[in-house]
Amino acid sequence: MADIEEARKHFDRIDTDGDGQISAAEFKRALAQGGDWNVTEAVAEAIIASRDLNEDKLLSFDEFWAHLNK
């Protein structure tokens, strides 16, 4: 099981606009900053979609946390 405080810090680093949701663009940017420059917007959208429980094309902290605890 992941540490919820560390998960929140990581989520907040990815959520650059601070709206409480991670968009595909924010996710792509975070992966690029981590060294994965080959991720396209379409790939980022697919990754978000695979974890997006309410299908709003955004990743909330609850969805992020649920994925970490699978």
Domain count, the chain: 1
Query: What are the pLDDT digits (tens) for 3-35?
Result: 999 999 999 999 999 999 999 999 999 999 999
Q: Are 47 and 64 in contact (CB under 8 A)?
A: no
Residues 6+ apart with CB under 8 A from 23: 48, 57, 58
What's the pTM value of the predicted model, to 2 decimals?
A: 0.89
Residues 6+ apart with CB under 8 A from 62: 53
Query: What are the pLDDT digits (tens) for 29-39?
Result: 999 999 988 88
Q: How remote is the C-alpha of 21 from its chain's centroid?
A: 8
Q: Which domain holds residue 34?
A: 4-68
Residue 22, domain CATH = 1.10.238.10
